[in-house]
Amino acid sequence: ALPEGHPFGATVRDAVVAAGGEEPLSVGAPYGSDLRQYAAAGIPTVQYGPGNIEDAHAVDESVPIDEVVLSARAYAHLLLRHCGR
């Protein structure tokens, strides 16, 4: 879990918007993720990406290419803002 008001959440949100996406919601999820390993080490984490979690790891899983492109753009913005300081 990312602490409420942690600046990394806003950084990710701003990167998505800068990439041309709608402002993403910040919500919890009822499933597990490897991000728990980073969180346990004190590293702030946010899970963001293309597709619908309901389709993940399913037979005939697919992701719309426009969502993949948007996510790649958001990651680029995030890297430039967060790591290019």
**pLDDT of 63 higher than 90:** yes
Domain of residue 47, CATH code: 1.10.150.900
Question: Is 76 within the bounds of a domain?
Answer: yes
What is the pTM for the complete model shown?
0.85
CA distances from 33 to 14, 37, 38, 51 (A): 23, 9, 10, 16
Question: Is 74 within the bounds of a domain?
Answer: yes
The confidence score (pLDDT) of residue 13 equals: 95
Question: Is 2 within the bounds of a domain?
Answer: no
User: Could you give the number of structural domains in the chain?
Assistant: 1
Q: List the domain range (segments joined by +) for residue 41.
A: 7-83
The confidence score (pLDDT) of residue 28 equals: 82
Question: Is 1 within the bounds of a domain?
Answer: no
Q: 78: closest CA among 5, 22, 9, 3? A: 9
Per-residue pLDDT band for 76 (boundaries 50, 70, 90) equals very high
Per-residue pLDDT band for 7 (boundaries 50, 70, 90) equals very high
Question: Is 68 within the bounds of a domain?
Answer: yes
